[in-house]
Structures are given as structure tokens and as C-alpha cells.
Chains A and B, each alone.
Chain A
Amino acid sequence: MLDLRASVIALSYIVAAVLFIFGLKQLSSPSTARSGNRLAAIGMALALGATLLDRQIISFWNIALGTLIGAVMGVYFARTVQMTAMPQMVALFNGMGGATAALVSVAEFIRLTRVGAPISVGEATSIVLGTAIGAISFTGSIIAFGKLQEILPGKPLQFPLQRLINGLILLAVIALGVMVVMGGGSPALWMLFAAALLLGAMFVLPIGGGDMPVVISILNSLTGLAAALTGFVLHNQMLVVAGVLVGASGTLLTLLMSTAMNRSVANVLFGAFGAAGSDTAAAATAVGRTVRQTTSEDTAIALAYARTVVIVPGYGLAVAEAQHTVRELATDLEKRGVNVKYAIHPVAGRMPGHMNVLLAEANVPYDQLLEMDQVNGEFPQTDVVLVVGANDVVNPAARDDPSSPIYGMPILDVDRARNIIVLKRSMGHGFAGIDNALFYHEKTRMLFGDARQSLTQVGQALKTA
């Protein structure tokens, strides 16, 4: 029988688990999402509060101080980060969760070894997996953060024998894991920890920035799994339930994203997309082709005298924080009687729903946002398509060129519109790192520059047009 204290803890955990499940359920619908997040937060407070009653806990000062520092850090970053930098913020917090899982596993192993308690094969396996997966999630997330924050190059980083070297590191992790389970002790576990940290970084480095949403989603579910494994180590069901909930839902989300990009998860992870092969293709197609530049004044006139305009936002909009500017421009156009819609590709930006979040922040009415299937039939009747910093999601090669690495990815058929104006920083490649035939199309005009500046200039020009 459990004593009173243990019963209170166990019952609190059950209530918390139910709150997590209801929270997730409510997060799946726009009208209840916010309260769902709050329900989950209440569940978290309950679970953490109950844990403090555990008799195992004898000192509170480092818990209090650590929580205070972590909370201040987390809340500060969460409140000050620009909406455009949300994806990398999620990556960063995810990495911290992974690190926590790894450190907890290592610490528990050291404690058990020190008190001379027998470690069962089940416990040892959980410790090994918790350490390895947590560490991979940590460094993997940090690299993903670096790529999205543009501290690291977004292009896939490759070097000779990369797969061989990564394979060897993976083998080392597995071998060290087996050693720990067989009784290899703390030194083997520390080496495992280090090897897994290296593996996490190495496995994300060769993946292009365009695939980062899928990667972050995978790492998110991995951290959930690592948390569940620490539950096995600590004999704590709360950790198992919450960790697995995240692991399962994260896996589902990963699959949804890969489906939207028409690529398998294996392809994302091991394809080193946009590095090999495509450079020669890009060089070949660039020969003998010219882009046609335009000015903000010409753009303003084209927009002002169009009947229908479709705006295609992409990552460039997020980088330039141009969501408010684009909404103002759209409002001015509507005042002139132009019919303005937004076409949202499912993977535009860095995460599914990224563009919806940004445009919602700028108060773009919901009914103006069209999804890919709704809008694709309308392009032939569209007078002007304004592409704001989108690239791969409008690349006709995905539809027409079987040799293209993105062939088969569903795209927005903007090349079927009457006129196309592309706002872009430079002729650089998109995150997939491949050339885009749309930019050389005879109907296409390029307006180079920062998206927000360009849109502001177009808006000014519109007043006199």
C-alpha cells in the first residue's frame, strides 16, 4: 500500500496525465487551442508540485535556484523572440529538454553505481537509450537552431566519406551502449554521452535548411522518447506517459510534414538534399538565360490595374518581417477594388503553418488565406502573382523536370498566372539549394531587395499610380 504522501503524488500524476491528453486534444482545434495549452501548463504545474513531495528529495535549494534561472531564461527568450524566429526557438527549447533527459540518465547511473545497487538489464538499457537519444536531440537541435538563425550556413554541409564517418560514430555509440549494459561502468557511459553528442551534430549538418521543420519535428519526438526512457530509469510513470504522448504525436506530425513535401523521412535525413548533383544542373540551366528586372514603380502599376492579385509568401517574408507591410499593401489594393488573396503552400517558410501565424499576426483576414488545392485552379485567371520571398514551393521543376531533386513535391502553379513578380533578396538559391526556372520565365519580373523595403517602396509608388 502507498502511504498518504505517495498516494497524493500518484493521484496528482494521473490528473496531470489527463490534463496533458485534454490539452493536446484542444490544441488540435483553433478555437480551443489556447485553453489547451493552458490546461497542459496546469498539468505540468501539478506534476512538478507533486514531485516535490517525494521523500527522495532532501535538498531543495538547487531545485529552486535551477528552476528560477531556467524559468527566467526561458520566459525571457520566449517573450522577446520575434515571431519570425519561432521555429528556431522551438528547436532551442527542444534541445534543452534533450540535454535534461541525457543528464538525468547519466546522473542516475552514477548514483546507482556509487551506492552499489544492482542495475538490471532493463534499467541499463533505458539509461543507455535515454543518454544517447537525449544527447543526439540536444546537439541536433543546436545545429538546427544555428542553421535557421543563419549562424551556420543553411546549405547541406558535406565532406568526403561523410556517411562512412557518421556510420562509424553510430557504431561507436551502439558498441559503447552494449558495453554499459554489460557492466562497462561510468567511463563507458561518459564516452557514450560524448559520442552521441557528436552524432547529433553530424547527422543534422548535412541536412539542408529547407528540411529543418521535419528535422525539428523528429528531434521533438526523440526528446519525448528520451523523457519516457528516463521514466523507466527513475520508475516514474508520469515521465513515461507524457514522454510517449510527445513521442507519438511528434512522429505523426513528422509524417504529415514529409507528406506535404512528398518526401520520405529517410530521404530528408540521408538525402543530403540540394548538395550533390544539383549544382551541375543549376549551372547548365543558367547558361543563356536572363532574368528581367523590374522597379517598384512598375510593380505598383501592374498591381494597381490588376483585377486579381495573389500573394505568395515564403521564408523571405519571415526574414524581412514584412507581414505587416504586405498586409498594408493588400489593404491599399483592396481600396482600389483589386481582389487580393494569399496562397499558402503547406511547407512555405520553415514550418507548416509558419505563414499563417505571421499573417495572422498582421491581422490578415482568415478568408483571404487560400490553401494550395484551393488556389491552384485560380492561377490561370490571376492577373498578377506577387511572390514574396518564396522559392522552392513555386519552382515548376518540381512538376515538370523528373531529374530535379524536388521533382514530385506539390507546388503552387504560379507560372500559370498572367504575370509574375518575384520579390527576392538576390539570385541566390532557395533552401533546397537548387535553381528555379520560374525566375527566367518570360512572364516573370524580378524585384530585388529586402522584402519589407521593396514592399514599402511599392506601397509608396501605389499612392501616385
Chain B
Amino acid sequence: MSQELVLGIYVFIMAIFVGFEVISRVPSVLHTPLMSGTNAIHGIVVLGAFLVAGSADTPLLHALGFIAVVFGAANVFGGFVVTDRMLEMFKKREAAAGEKKDA
């Protein structure tokens, strides 16, 4: 096994703990936005698509890289925008609750 693979596995396992720890206390109201937010974050895979598309030197690799970039970019941009739209409404709700207190 290469040193790099060992390091990769190490990072992999540490990240599992961070992933569990960081979201372990979430109110159920936020489950859908959270799923949507994590969905946007795994769009990071478009980074791999960049590397493939940018270094492609055959038509097949160009095509595969290009499709991967399109899908990955849709995942990233769509994911963050959808999450923001969901969360926008939480802001509104706080305002609505605030108005009620004032009244």
C-alpha cells in the first residue's frame, strides 16, 4: 500500500467522525434543507470532472468530461440555490413571529 493511500484512508475515517459530529443535533424542521445543503456539497465532484475535461485528449474523454461537468455544475448551482430558497422562508417565518409579538 502506498503512503498516499494510507493518508487517504486516514482522512476518510477522520471525515466520517466530523460528518457525524457536526450535524448530530439538528431540529427536524431543518432536515430537508440540511439534506439539500449536503446534496449541494457533494457537487464538489464536479472538481473531478474539471480535471477530466481539462486534461482530455480524445473525443471520448472530451465527451465524458463535458457531460460530467454539465451534470456536476447543475448539482452544485442548483443545490445551493434550492437550499437558499428553502432557508429564505425560515427568515420570513421569524419576521412573521416577530410581528405577532409586536401586535
Chain A: residues with CB nearer than 8 A to chain B? 20-21, 23-25, 27-31, 33-34, 36-38, 40-41, 44, 47-48, 51-52, 54, 56-60, 62-63, 65-71, 73-75, 77-79, 81, 83, 86-87, 89-90, 92-94, 96-97, 99-101, 103-104, 106-108, 110-111, 114, 120, 122, 216-217, 220, 223-224, 226-228, 230-253, 256-257, 260, 346, 351-354, 356-357, 360-361, 363-367, 371
Check B43 against A97 for contact (C-beta < 8 Å). Answer: yes
Check A74 against B76 for contact (C-beta < 8 Å). Answer: yes
Check A244 against B15 for contact (C-beta < 8 Å). Answer: yes
Shortest CB distance A369–B (Å): 8
> What residues on A are CB-neighbors of B36 within 8 Å?
86, 90
Residue in B16, B34, B54, B93 whose beta carbon sits within 8 Å of that of A253 in the complex = B34
Q: A40-B80, A65-B66, A74-B76 are in contact. List 10 more A-B contacts (CB 8 A).
A: A34-B90, A44-B44, A52-B50, A66-B69, A70-B70, A70-B76, A77-B78, A97-B71, A107-B64, A356-B28
- A78 in contact with B1 given A34-B88, A70-B69, A365-B100 (CB within 8 Å): no
Task: Identify which of residues 75-92 in chain B touch chain A, using a CB-to-CB cut-off of 8 Å.
Answer: 75-92
Chain B: residues with CB nearer than 8 A to chain A? 1-2, 4-5, 8, 11-12, 15-20, 22-56, 58, 60-62, 64-94, 96-97, 100
Check B52 against A249 for contact (C-beta < 8 Å). Answer: no
> What residues on A are CB-neighbors of B43 within 8 Å?
44, 93, 97, 100
**Nearest-neighbor residue (CB-CB) of B95 within chain A:** A363
**Nearest-neighbor residue (CB-CB) of A54 within chain B:** B51
16 A-B residue pairs with Cβ-Cβ distance under 8 Å, sorted by A, are: A24-B41, A33-B90, A34-B87, A57-B54, A62-B53, A69-B70, A69-B73, A70-B70, A75-B81, A93-B39, A94-B42, A96-B71, A97-B72, A103-B65, A107-B65, A253-B38
**Nearest-neighbor residue (CB-CB) of B34 within chain A:** A27
Check B75 against A56 for contact (C-beta < 8 Å). Answer: no
Check B54 against A70 for contact (C-beta < 8 Å). Answer: no
Residue in B25, B73, B91 whose beta carbon sits within 8 Å of that of A70 in the complex = B73
- Interface of chain A, main secondary structure: helix
Residue in A30, A58, A65, A239 whose beta carbon sits within 8 Å of that of B45 in the complex = A239
> What residues on B are CB-neighbors of A242 within 8 Å?
41-42, 44
**How far is A356 from B27 in the complex, measured between Cα atoms in Å?**
11
**Nearest-neighbor residue (CB-CB) of A13 within chain B:** B47
> What residues on B are CB-neighbors of A247 within 8 Å?
16, 19
> What residues on B are CB-neighbors of A234 within 8 Å?
48, 51
Shortest CB distance A181–B (Å): 15
Check B2 against A122 for contact (C-beta < 8 Å). Answer: yes
Check B90 against A30 for contact (C-beta < 8 Å). Answer: yes
**How far is A23 from B76 in the complex, measured between Cα atoms in Å?**
15
- A239 in contact with B48 given A44-B41, A97-B72, A249-B38 (CB within 8 Å): yes
Check A79 against B81 for contact (C-beta < 8 Å). Answer: yes
Check A239 against B44 for contact (C-beta < 8 Å). Answer: yes
Check B37 against A111 for contact (C-beta < 8 Å). Answer: no
**How far is A99 from B82 in the complex, measured between Cα atoms in Å?**
19
**Nearest-neighbor residue (CB-CB) of B86 within chain A:** A357
**Nearest-neighbor residue (CB-CB) of A134 within chain B:** B45
**Nearest-neighbor residue (CB-CB) of B79 within chain A:** A93
**How far is A8 from B31 in the complex, measured between Cα atoms in Å?**
35
**How far is A48 from B47 in the complex, measured between Cα atoms in Å?**
6
> What residues on B are CB-neighbors of A360 within 8 Å?
89-90, 92-93
**How far is A67 from B17 in the complex, measured between Cα atoms in Å?**
32
- A41 in contact with B97 given A65-B66, A96-B71, A104-B68 (CB within 8 Å): no
> What residues on A are CB-neighbors of B50 within 8 Å?
48, 51-52, 54, 57, 63
Shortest CB distance A6–B (Å): 14
> What residues on A are CB-neighbors of B71 within 8 Å?
70, 96-97, 99-100, 103
Check B73 against A74 for contact (C-beta < 8 Å). Answer: yes
